[in-house]
Amino acid sequence: MLFAWLRRRRRRRLLARPWNEDDLATLAALRFAVPIPEASAPRWRDIARVLEAEIHWEGRGGLEVTRAMRFAVAGSAARMAIGLPDGAFDRVRTVLLAPDDFRPSQPPVDELGIVHVDARHIGEAWHEGIVLLSWDEVAASLEQPGVGQDVVVHEFAHQLDLGTDSWFDGTPDLATEAERVRWRDVMQREYDDLVAAVARGAKTFLDPYGATNPSEFFAVVSEELFDRPRGLAARHAELYAVLAAFYGQDPAAALA
């Protein structure tokens, strides 16, 4: 465990160094559904720089992880943390990049007890601060933003979900008791609504995968907040409001 003061000093040094022009160009070329607001750009770039430097990056299946790939993932994740307290992703220690979709580390078991060995995943988040991503999917989200799917946001939201209680329960660290009460209230109602809609086969704005459990719900609606904020605000105003309050950002307003 690294002492907090040591980490702060190391970060100050890192951020005081001149930027590598290629890294700046990589970040500038990232395309998001909601462009980073001018005023937030320096903070966004600094968070990305710290993530790129401190995370251990590893390629799977023969993938060579380039510096540009690291900054693409770090930049995508960093935009979630602009309005969060400093060090929001300190728990993320390792990012594993696979070339494309991969066999899940724990094959899913359905309600009949059948193990689906043929299942494929595009991302996973583990308790030990490990995130697994399909590079294909990361690139696809950046090439086609605005469709409500972003694997980096999804898996990094799972890491926020773990928070200090270390549970995948759909509840990240919230600042006040009032926020926790409102969170439980709104998230539970919206989650129940989605579960019911999916059960009756209704078409939903939210990805039906969010009905899997509260943790997947939080990850899925986080993708919507950053990728389709206007649609989310229009159809699920309260859900949008609690998410925007948690992330400390108002992406729908930033688009308007």
Interacting residues with Zn ion (CB under 5 A): 216, 219
The nearer residue to Zn ion, 219 or 225, going by C-beta atoms, is 219
Nearer to Zn ion, 72 or 219 (CB): 219
Residue number, 216 or 250, with CB nearest to Zn ion? 216
Structural contact between residues 73 and 153, judged by C-beta atoms closer than 8 angstroms = no
The answer to whether the CB of 27 falls within 8 A of the CB of 52 is: no
Task: For Zn ion, give the closer residue by CB, 54 or 169.
Answer: 169
The least CB distance from residue 223 to Zn ion, in Å, is 10
The distance of closest approach from Cβ of residue 125 to Zn ion in the complex, given in angstroms and rounded to an integer, is 7
Residues 6+ apart with CB under 8 A from 84: 160, 247, 248
Query: In whole angstroms, how close is the CB of 178 to Zn ion at the nearest point?
Result: 28
Helix axes 237-247, 177-199, angle to 10 degrees: 140
Instruction: Tell me whether strands 123-126 and 130-134 are parallel, antiparallel or unpaired.
Output: antiparallel
Q: Are 132 and 92 in contact (CB under 8 A)?
A: no
Bridge partner residues of 231 (DSSP):
none
Backbone angles phi and psi of 133, in degrees to 5: -135, 145
Report which residue's Cβ sits closest to Zn ion.
219
Shortest spacing between CB 94 and Zn ion, in angstroms: 17
Tell me whether residue 81 or residue 219 sits nearer to Zn ion (CB atom). Answer: 219
* Shortest Cβ 255–Zn ion spacing (Å): 25
Instruction: CB nearer to Zn ion: give 218 or 240.
Output: 218
Name, in order, each residue with C-beta under 8 angstroms of 33's C-beta and a sequence gap of 6 or more.
145, 146, 226, 227, 228, 229, 251, 255
What CA–CA distance (Å, rounded) separates 249 from 80? 9
Complex with Zn ion: residue 23 or 210, whichever CB lies closer: 210
Q: Are 162 and 48 in contact (CB under 8 A)?
A: no
Please check whether residue 223 is in contact with residue 141, taking contact to mean a CB–CB distance below 8 angstroms: no
The alpha carbons of the chain give a radius of gyration, in whole angstroms, of 18
Phi, psi of 192 (to 5 degrees): -60, -40
Distance in Å, CB of 109 to Zn ion, minimum: 16
Nearest distance in Å: CB 168, Zn ion: 9
